[in-house]
A and B are shown apart, each in its own frame.
Chain A
Amino acid sequence: QKEVEQDPGPLSVPEGAIVSLNCTYSNSAFQYFMWYRQYSRKGPELLMYTYSSGNKEDGRFTAQVDKSSKYISLFIRDSQPSDSATYLCGIIQGAQKLVFGQGTRLTINP
């Protein structure tokens, strides 16, 4: 079993839709949870991170963590074509080592 599981998609939605991206993890010792966004032919860039259960908002993006279920989510409201990218969840596993999910490829159709 992979330490972090993420549905690779691809996911295609119309512009303006609410997008939900999800990951599950196996190690309850994980403390920090991150979402990276990767545009085509670019390296990943950090979108959001959180370290506690609950929600964290940043504009149209909301990161949600449920430690009891070992489940993390990223919600995108009012999705735009510019949000089309691959989204990677990443979880810190001690000593700053990141473990990534497989990545979900998202396309927002105008």
Chain B
Amino acid sequence: DVKVTQSSRYLVKRTGEKVFLECVQDMDHENMFWYRQDPGLGLRLIYFSYDVKMKEKGDIPEGYSVSREKKERFSLILESASTNQTSMYLCASQTSGSYEQYFGPGTRLTVT
């Protein structure tokens, strides 16, 4: 079974803090994605990566950056957390050529 794990289920941070969200997949997938999920807005793509050290902006990249130094790990970075970044963050992975994305359980981030 594909497993996508995220470093924390719940996280509380203060405004202005630098926040790291980690995602690890164990199926040697090439593609990895970061989404945020908000009520009434669904899942919105923040960043994605098709290979190590590659990254592409999604629909809402402002205020975020990413890092992919190893194939199995994709990190989302909030350089200076703000209250409007309070959300559920979901990581997904996908093998190249497939349409199915496998999601992690999510990290609920609260910025106060």
Contact = CB atoms under 8 A, between A and B. Distances in A.
Interface of A: 6, 8, 32, 34, 41-46, 49, 88, 92, 96-103
Interface in B21-71: 31, 33, 35, 39-45, 48, 58
A41 B42 contact: no
Given A49-B99, A97-B48, A41 B41 contact: no
A102 B38 CA distance: 9
A8 B41 CA distance: 9
Given A96-B94, A102-B40, A42 B105 contact: yes
A34 B42 contact: no
A8 B99 contact: no
Interface of B: 4, 31, 33, 35, 39-45, 48, 58, 90, 92, 94, 96, 98-106
A98 B101 CA distance: 9
Contacts of A100: 35, 42-44
Nearest to A49: B99
Contacts, number: 51
Given A49-B99, A92-B99, A43 B106 contact: yes
A92 B48 CA distance: 14
A43 B42 contact: no
Nearest to A46: B100
Contacts of B103: 43-45
A88 B42 contact: yes
A42 B105 CA distance: 5
A99 B45 CA distance: 8
Nearest to A32: B99
B42 to A, nearest CB: 4
Contact of B105 (A43, A88, A99): A43
A101 B98 CA distance: 20
A102 B41 contact: yes
15 contacts: A8-B39, A8-B40, A32-B99, A34-B99, A34-B100, A41-B105, A43-B4, A49-B99, A49-B100, A96-B31, A96-B94, A96-B98, A100-B35, A102-B42, A103-B43
